Structure 1
């Protein structure tokens, strides 16, 4: 049974490989997106841009709100639950 199944599903091997690769890329992107060190670095950059006058107070606050929500989501994921469904 295993040999026949493998033989019949052999044409799907490229599709399964592509799906596995896409899943790996998605997991890596999520890992980087929710990396607390990256988020903190981006928050620091926003603070620097605000201090230099390159961002208005409203722009900086809006960007910080997004990053803080992402940081909270990252913390929630590490604890095993999702706090905010607005992010992938």
Structure 2
């Protein structure tokens, strides 16, 4: 980037900084959302809620399917490609 373009684009620096921070936050949120350990913990809590009678079988099956789908999305395929 040349000196002139650097000076002209300087007012956009805060915007680029906000975009960069937003991208990092999204990456961190997705990493936590699809973390297999977190999903397994949620599955265990779901099983406990079913055993304690807090939820019915229909809701359990719906939530379990959603969690297992999330787990499958981040599990690498046998060939090494996600």
TM-score (norm 2): 0.90
Partner deviation per Cα, 1:38-82 (whole Å, 9 max, x = no partner): 0000000000000000010111110000000000001149x543x
Query: Structure 1, unaligned stretches of length 5 or more?
Result: 82-88
Instruction: Give the equivalent residue in structure 1 for 2:72.
Output: 72
2: distance between equivalents of 1:52 and 1:59? 14
Q: Is it true that 1:6 corresponds to 2:10 in the alignment? A: no
Q: Paired residues, what number?
A: 80
After the TM superposition, which segments of 4 or more aligned residues of structure 1 sit over 4 Å from their partners? none
The CA RMSD over aligned residues, in Å, is 1.5
Instruction: Give the equivalent residue in structure 1 for 2:45.
Output: 45
Instruction: Give the equivalent residue in structure 2 for 1:24.
Output: 24
Query: Structure 2, unaligned stretches of length 5 or more?
Result: none
TM-score (norm 1): 0.85
Instruction: Give the equivalent residue in structure 1 for 2:36.
Output: 36
Distance 1:14 1:80, change over 3 A: farther
